[in-house]
Amino acid sequence: MNPLFAVPLALLLGALTWSFLEYCIHRWLGHDRRLRGNPFGQEHTRHHSQGDYFAPTHKKLLAALGALLLVLPPSVWVAGPLLGGTYAGGLVAFYLYYEVLHRREHTHAGIGPYGRWARRHHFYHHFVDPSANHGVTSPLWDVVFGTYRAPGVIPVPVKLKMQWLTDPQTGEVHAPFSAWYTLRGRAS
């Protein structure tokens, strides 16, 4: 196969594989009560209950390194050094992209249509229905597995509200976000 076609395809397949793993890890290791005792499940439960909590960066970098060490040898064995390395690199690069996107969804107002969509898709999962919208970077696997829900107005609990969402003077949802978010409950 022509490398000009094969290399981008291997990169895309690596990213698609991470997208699938992202969905599976989040849905089953993060939300299935039978499996939640795992390290990811514990960190994820804390993230849902505290909102602004994220696992430390060193744990995420170790996860990326572990994934690379796990995926690279069989990928190289099956597809050769160039394509196997590209596939493994695509998977790990998209994992790191997911980590950055996920944090920014919580800490910054979304930029552009994709950023705004991703944030609303994810916050529907956080604040409306944790059994839906497990994909953070894409709705693909939610559609495939029937867990996709189109977000309407998202009621954000006051105790979990994100800084970018509200005006610090009034405590109200900033006007540009008021069509998509409301506040629920009282400040503690």
pLDDT of 107 above 70: yes
Residue 156 to residues 34, 65, 129, Cα–Cα distance (Å): 27, 35, 12
Between 63 and 127, where is the model more confident? 127
Interval 72-85: pLDDT, tens: 999 999 999 999 99
Closest CA to 122 of 144, 142, 102, 107: 102
pLDDT at 188 over 60: no
**Helix (H/G/I), strand (E/B), else coil: 1:** coil
Write the pLDDT tens digit of every residue in 141-170.
999 999 999 999 999 999 999 989 999 999
Report how far apart the first and last C-alpha atoms of the chain are (Å, whole number): 61
Please enumerate in sequence order all residues whose Cβ is within 8 A of that of 57, keeping only pairs 6 or more positions apart, or say none.
Answer: none
Neighbours of 181 (CB within 10 A): 22
Task: pLDDT band for 12, please (50, 70, 90 cuts).
Answer: very high
Whole-angstrom Cα distance, residue 146 to residue 28? 14
The answer to whether residues 10 and 91 touch, using CB atoms and an 8 Å cutoff, is: no
Residue 64 burial (C-beta neighbours within 10 Å; 0-12, 13-18, 19+):
middle
Q: Which two tokens stand for residue 152?
A: 């309407």
Residues 89-95 have a mean pLDDT of: 95
Distance CA(42)–CA(59), nearest Å, equals 13
pLDDT digit string (tens) for 19-68?
999 999 999 999 988 887 888 888 888 888 887 788 888 888 998 899 99
Q: How far apart are CA 186 and CA 60, in angstroms?
A: 33
- 156 token code pair: 């954000």
Percent of the chain with pLDDT over 90: 71
